[in-house]
Structure 1
Amino acid sequence: MLKTVDYFFMYSLFAIWILLLFNAWLSFAGYSFFQETEEKKIDVVRGITNHPTISILVPAHNEEKVIERSVMAMLKMDYPKSKRELIVINDNSEDNTGAILENIKSRYPFENLKIITTDSITGGRGKANALNTGLQHANGDYIVVYDADNTPEVMSLRYLVYEITNSKEYGAVIGKFRTRNKDTNLLTRFINIETLSFQWMIQGGRWKRFRLCLLPGTNFIVRKDLLEQIGGWDSKAIAEDTELSIRIYMNGYKIAFMPKAVSWEQEPETLRVWFKQRTRWVKGNIYVLSKYLFPLPKCSGSILIDLYYRLLESCLFFFAVISSDIIFILGLLNISKISLPGNFIIIWMLAYILFILEISINLTMEKGEYNLSNFLLVVMMYLTYCQCWIAVCLSGIYSYIKDSIFKREHIWYKTERF
């Protein structure tokens, strides 16, 4: 007779394998898309015959450590100066961010650099509110968003413009972001592998299979008229990028992936900062799911399917991993063992090998990333870094419920810079 632990084991086994197989399928799709992109000859100098006007928005809150390097990188991007403006929203900063920005403006008086400064009344209420403030001052036909720690490559803006102006069905186009400080410590190396896998598997793979992408928080271009039509960013959303993505699809547009548009960003260098950042992501995704799925679905088509997938992934897979870990520990302590016949160590090993395989496929798409050091990190990753996400998810769920009960307004939590 089957025991309770057997049922939990079968559930966790089924849920984990379904997601692993699906992600492996996406990884191969991402690899196919990568090959297509590499083979496609794109001349972004001759390819853009009519340069549209561009407004670059950079929300900045207490960014004195990184803002000068980021702004200088953006000013150096290859795009006609008469057709672009850089708008930095100095959002209620309490450090030297404002002074650094004014110094840059005085040194480069011929650059179209605007500094919008808010205080505790007009700002300080999160990234979405800061972007909406910047949008009010934007004159461009298209809006480009970078985080304050980003240093985009010289040609990245041209690639974004090239892609969005070559298709009327694209409401936005996303680029690729890389980890600047990947060699700092073990955590940043894990994050580097995670971000590369996410982009080629979730963005590249889904774009190839479903023509579906979601905005990241940085390095993307969106039509200004579309933004104004849908009311800008949702100021209540912590994951403002995901929330905006849904409304873009609801208005009949698509979001494309242009991996040749590259921006480098700084990732958390301590577990404490990483944990706070990822907890915020979890809270933001819960908000999006609750807004568009409950009590009734408020969208349709591929984006609705994607939301249901996210819900199933968040619930089924998350609890499957917890169940699997608990069963494994109970077995080691000889408290409760599985009574099902079969060698489940082999099944677990096969799942582990599949995990290593799909991550390794994603690493092969980045020059210099598929090496022995990163391969050994992938081998370690499931038992270390991935398990930390359990605590992150639990913390995010708890924090979201607590904020909902006490009706707390979202305030800006900026990832600490180094």
Structure 2
Amino acid sequence: MVTIFSISIFILIYIYFLFPLIIYICGALKKDSVKQDVSNTDKTIVIVVPAHNEEAVISRKIENHLALDYEHNNYKILVISDTSSDNTVEITNTYVDQYPGRVELFEVNDGLGKTNAINKALVNIDCDILVFSDANVYLKSDALLQISKCYADKNIGGVAGQLIYTNDDVEGAAQSNGLYWKYEEMIKKSESLSGSMMGADGSIFSIKRRLLRELPVHVLDDFCSSMGVINQGYKLKFDDTITAYEKGAESTAEEFPRKVRISNRSYNSYKHLRAECFKTLSLFDLWKLYSHKVLRWYSLFFMVSALVSNLFIAISEEGYIFTSVLILHVLFYIMAALSWLNKLPNIPVISKVAAIAEYFTMANVAAGIGILQSISGKKTITWKKADSTR
């Protein structure tokens, strides 16, 4: 039991502390940053906006993109309506009529999810760069200029930008999510500086059009398409001069089912890519992939084994060391549960620590459920947005 406890705790420390530290050092030593070329701003770009019942945000989304500081003849906005039952299509069509050639609409109504809709919409799209951006994400005015500059390096096949949460000062899930995202982007930036980052997020990322591949409908399009860049021999980079803004989910009740769905699709994506990754990735990139993604997805199982083994040791062993550790262990999860249920007293320091414990526990429980679903054969294909992010 001591061995099980020690291994479980070490792996959790490695996932969340040691790996980020090691990859930060690797990035600082290698410094493989994006060499932007200010003259490389004539690439043709299609901004891909998947939308499912986005009537609350689609007007602002399109208007934000129409105002981007980029040659109008060199980019267009493609809204992909995936089985929308609200006014998303009608609202988008007003912009299609008003801005012919600059705004286009592609409708998919078969209910097979986002990846399926993207597969169908992009078959005949001709451009240099595809920029993917969720419907509730808004871009800084120079985003396309910064993206285009990055592709002066012929070895770069994909570039992701920095996402800033506009409500990360709101206590609760939004604040914890914002803090987690800053931590996550630090890791991505370090991975990028060491060569390539391991997958991009759908908020804001781009790839060369010719590197896009058709995907199974049950996988995450952003993760698989961005990892496909690396698997085809190109670099996937992170560049924080490319900026996007999004409102984070403000309640655990909304965030938890979203995390379960994403985790299920992420693990299905990993299973889809696994064989190819072992054939094409370097040992260094495989280490990054498994340390950053795969091991972290299994965090719940290490958390459970650590707690159970700690309990057995505290009962069977003499002395107070493991008993004290067990007390801290249990207190951590009690704080997480009370924060989840909004039962904690409003004491700033305690509330913030408890919110972090809540988010850490919630995210890993959701990931564990999603993985178990994937292992049992479940393939989630439909998507449900968090209303508070709109």
Q: How high is the TM-score relative to the length of structure 2?
A: 0.82
Question: In structure 2, what is the Cα distance between the partners aligned to 1:376 and 1:25?
Answer: 30
Are residues 1:138 and 2:115 paired?
Answer: no
Question: In structure 1, what is the Cα distance between the partners aligned to 2:322 and 2:245?
Answer: 45
Report deviation, 1:41: 11
Instruction: State the identity %.
Output: 21
Question: In structure 1, what is the Cα distance between the partners aligned to 2:75 and 2:350?
Answer: 44
Question: Structure 1, residues 306-341: CA drift from partner, whole Å, max 9, x if none?
Answer: 3433333434x443322333455x38xx97255589
Are residues 1:266 and 2:263 paired?
Answer: no
Distance 1:29 1:155, change over 3 A: farther
Unaligned runs of 5+ in 2: 329-346
Question: In structure 2, what is the Cα distance between the partners aligned to 1:291 and 1:379?
Answer: 37
Of 159, 169, 194, 2:146 maps to: 159
Distance 1:378 1:24, change over 3 A: farther
Corresponding residue for 1:59?
50
Question: In structure 2, what is the Cα distance between the partners aligned to 1:249 and 1:187?
Answer: 33
Are residues 1:125 and 2:112 paired?
Answer: yes
Of 313, 317, 321, 2:303 maps to: 321
Of 8, 31, 35, 1:12 maps to: 8
Are residues 1:23 and 2:20 paired?
Answer: yes
Q: 2:264 touches 2:379 (CA, 8 Å); kept in 1?
A: no
TM-align CA RMSD: 3.4
* Aligned partner letter, 2:108: T
Deviates more, 1:171-180 or 1:278-287: 278-287
Question: In structure 2, what is the Cα distance between the partners aligned to 1:374 and 1:258?
Answer: 34
Question: In structure 1, what is the Cα distance between the partners aligned to 2:233 and 2:276?
Answer: 23
Matches within 5 A, 1:337-352: 338-339=317-318
Distance 1:36 1:379, change over 3 A: farther
Question: In structure 1, what is the Cα distance between the partners aligned to 2:263 and 2:148?
Answer: 31
Matches within 5 A, 1:40-189: 47-106=38-97, 108-109=98-99, 112-120=102-110, 124-164=111-151, 166-189=152-175
Question: In structure 2, what is the Cα distance between the partners aligned to 1:36 and 1:245?
Answer: 18
Are residues 1:290 and 2:277 paired?
Answer: no
Are residues 1:399 and 2:336 paired?
Answer: no
Distance 1:325 1:265, change over 3 A: same
Report deviation, 1:72: 1.1
- Count of residue pairs brought into register by the alignment: 366
Distance 1:74 1:286, change over 3 A: same
Corresponding residue for 1:226?
211
Corresponding residue for 1:311?
294
Are residues 1:417 and 2:387 paired?
Answer: yes
Q: 1:237 touches 1:243 (CA, 8 Å); kept in 2?
A: no
Q: 2:41 touches 2:148 (CA, 8 Å); kept in 1?
A: no
Question: In structure 1, what is the Cα distance between the partners aligned to 2:348 and 2:117?
Answer: 37
Question: Structure 1, residues 64-91: CA drift from partner, whole Å, max 9, x if none?
Answer: 1111111111111100001111110112
Q: 2:162 touches 2:239 (CA, 8 Å); kept in 1?
A: yes
Question: Structure 1, residues 38-71: CA drift from partner, whole Å, max 9, x if none?
Answer: xx997x8xx1355111111111111111111111
Question: In structure 2, what is the Cα distance between the partners aligned to 1:324 and 1:378?
Answer: 24
Distance 1:85 1:377, change over 3 A: farther
Distance 1:48 1:410, change over 3 A: same
Q: 1:160 touches 1:220 (CA, 8 Å); kept in 2?
A: no
Q: 1:75 touches 1:111 (CA, 8 Å); kept in 2?
A: no
Deviates more, 1:90-99 or 1:376-385: 376-385
Q: 1:125 touches 1:410 (CA, 8 Å); kept in 2?
A: no
SS in 1 for 2:382: coil
Q: 1:81 touches 1:111 (CA, 8 Å); kept in 2?
A: no
Q: How high is the TM-score relative to the length of structure 1?
A: 0.77
Q: 1:126 touches 1:235 (CA, 8 Å); kept in 2?
A: no
SS in 2 for 1:411: coil
SS in 2 for 1:305: helix
Question: In structure 2, what is the Cα distance between the partners aligned to 1:81 and 1:261?
Answer: 19
Question: In structure 1, what is the Cα distance between the partners aligned to 2:21 and 2:85?
Answer: 46
SS in 2 for 1:136: coil
Question: Structure 1, residues 364-417: CA drift from partner, whole Å, max 9, x if none?
Answer: xxxxxxxxx999876445532211223212321232244x1xxx6643213232
Q: 2:168 touches 2:179 (CA, 8 Å); kept in 1?
A: no
* Aligned partner letter, 1:66: V
* Aligned partner letter, 1:18: Y
Q: 1:213 touches 1:256 (CA, 8 Å); kept in 2?
A: no
Matches within 5 A, 1:378-397: 379-397=353-371
